């Protein structure tokens, strides 16, 4: 066993917390599916500019490698050292057997806390009523199916099974949530390109995901389920088994969130998601655990773009993060910022929406005052 050599310039959290003692403890271990520390840290080792640098290969990775992952999670999500997570919705994931016996059971569906009262409480004052700044709102949650390896460690057979289970659940979505599934495998390269340009497909993951093993066999068993109005989507087998997304071209974040709750509630009655009391919903990247939710907007900030100090201060104050116009690790184009919540663990979903709302109100005020 040789202690891994990270790039001298690397500031990845995995480099900071993988001490020789932690390495000695974790290097000989493997999860029940055969996932190891060596596999988990590949991305951080090969990309000197990684921020985190570690991925989970299955649900058990979190407990087995906790002496390395816990301090990283503690720092990223700003939670107590002895954190735990209880989600605000949909923790009642039903297992498949129960459903096969009962069909879609309304009582169980209600237990997913889809009650209108609670959702209505998250209706917030309209942000940006004159449509001057916010171009679109998007809320997504990441989920993985319980009992399957996560994308960086999954076999192609398992991946195909995951796709089939998600497809089965998605085709039963009712009303406005209903739609169709597009399998990327059925597209020619030029059709795929056209879809990518129109943002109706997701591309192969970036080099961080690539070195983690997430891009293997792309585009096999990948695809997107979209509702007819294209406001509700499920990305299948991207960085996680499911990225459940609600989005629209408006500033109505709570409306977008409520649609997500409805869709997620229905899916939770048919799919069992990987969940843990301490870590919340389990995802490939430790930055996503907990609620696994990222709620954000695309917002045009011409003045703040030139006064980034003010913008960064506000973003930090409200626990938000900035991404580029085409997503994580891309640049800001035509002054369009992607602003979303940073913390996903140890915070209820509804509070994430409220914090985002307050933060955006402050950012819009600052933009107007310049
Ligand atoms: P995540 O991993 O949280 O889903 P990424 O940063 O990987 O997000 O971005 C995924 C895609 O979603 C990118 O194409 C990005 O431009 C798009 N996107 C993110 N937020 C918004 C938004 N508010 N409006 C429109 N598109 C968005
Ligand atoms: Mg992403």
Query: Using a 6 Å cutoff on CB, does residue 140 contact ligand 1?
Result: yes
Cα-to-centroid distance, 208 and ligand 2 (Å): 11
pLDDT at 244: 97
Residue-level pLDDT at 104: 34
- pLDDT, position 130: 87
Task: Kindly report, residue by residue over 168-217, the tens digit of the pLDDT.
Answer: 999 999 999 999 999 999 999 999 999 999 989 999 999 999 999 999 99
pLDDT of residue 111: 36
pLDDT at residue 368, rounded to an integer:
96
> What pLDDT, on the 0 to 100 scale, is given for residue 114?
38
At 294 the pLDDT is 97
| Active-site residue list | 140, 239, 243, 285, 287, 294, 323, 328
CA of 326 to the centre of ligand 1 (A): 7
CA distance 227 to 225: 7
**Phi first, then psi: what are they for 321, rounded to 5°?**
-140, 155
SS3 readout for 19-58: CHHHHHHHCCCECCCCCEHHHHCHHHHHCCCCCCCCCCCC
Query: Measured from the CA of 296, which atom of ligand 1 is nearest?
Result: 23
Nearest protein CA to atom 8 of ligand 1, as residue: 327
The Cα 313–Cα 164 span in angstroms is: 45
53 lines ligand 1 (CB under 6 A): no
Ligand 1 in contact with 341 (CB < 6 A)?
Answer: no
Look at residue 156 in the predicted model and tell me its pLDDT: 98
Using 70 as the pLDDT threshold, list the residues of the chain that sit under it. 87-123
Ligand 1, atom 3: closest residue by C-alpha: 294
Question: Whose alpha carbon is nearest atom 18 of ligand 1?
Answer: 327
pLDDT of residue 105: 39
């Amino acid at each position: 066993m040789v202690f891994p050599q990270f790039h001298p310039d690397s500031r990845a959290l995995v480099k900071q917390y993988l001490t020789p003692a932690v390495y000695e403890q974790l290097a000989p271990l493997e999860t029940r599916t055969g996932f190891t520390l060596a596999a988990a840290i590949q991305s951080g080792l090969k990309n000197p500019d990684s921020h985190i640098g570690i991925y989970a290969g299955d649900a058990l990775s979190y407990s087995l490698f906790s002496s390395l992952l816990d301090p990283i999670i503690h720092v990223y999500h700003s939670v107590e050292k002895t954190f735990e997570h209880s989600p605000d919705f949909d923790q009642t994931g039903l297992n498949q057997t129960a459903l096969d016996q009962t069909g879609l059971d309304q009582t169980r569906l209600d237990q997913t806390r889809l009650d209108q009262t609670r959702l209505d409480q998250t209706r917030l004052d309209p942000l940006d009523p004159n449509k001057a700044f916010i171009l679109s709102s998007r809320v997504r949650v990441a989920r993985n199916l319980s009992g399957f390896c996560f994308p960086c460690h999954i076999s192609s057979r398992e991946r195909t099974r995951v796709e089939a289970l998600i497809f089965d659940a998605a085709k039963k979505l009712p009303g406005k949530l209903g739609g169709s599934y597009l399998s990327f495998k059925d597209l020619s390269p030029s059709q795929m390109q056209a879809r990518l340009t129109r943002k109706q497909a997701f591309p192969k993951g970036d080099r961080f995901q690539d070195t983690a093993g997430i891009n293997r066999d792309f585009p096999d068993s990948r695809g997107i389920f979209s509702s007819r109005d294209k406001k509700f989507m499920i990305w299948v087998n991207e960085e996680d088994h499911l990225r459940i997304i609600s989005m629209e071209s408006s500033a109505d974040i709570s409306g977008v969130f409520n649609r997500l709750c409805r869709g997620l509630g229905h899916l939770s009655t048919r799919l069992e998601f990987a969940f843990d009391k301490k870590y919340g919903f389990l995802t490939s990247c430790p930055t996503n655990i907990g609620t696994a939710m990222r709620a954000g907007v695309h917002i045009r900030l011409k003045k703040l773009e030139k006064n980034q100090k003010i913008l960064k201060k506000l973003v930090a104050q409200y626990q938000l993060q900035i991404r580029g116009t085409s997503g994580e690790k891309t640049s800001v184009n035509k002054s369009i910022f992607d602003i979303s919540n940073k913390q996903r663990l140890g915070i209820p979903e509804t509070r994430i929406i409220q914090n985002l709302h307050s933060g955006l109100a402050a950012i819009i005020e600052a933009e107007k005052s310049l």
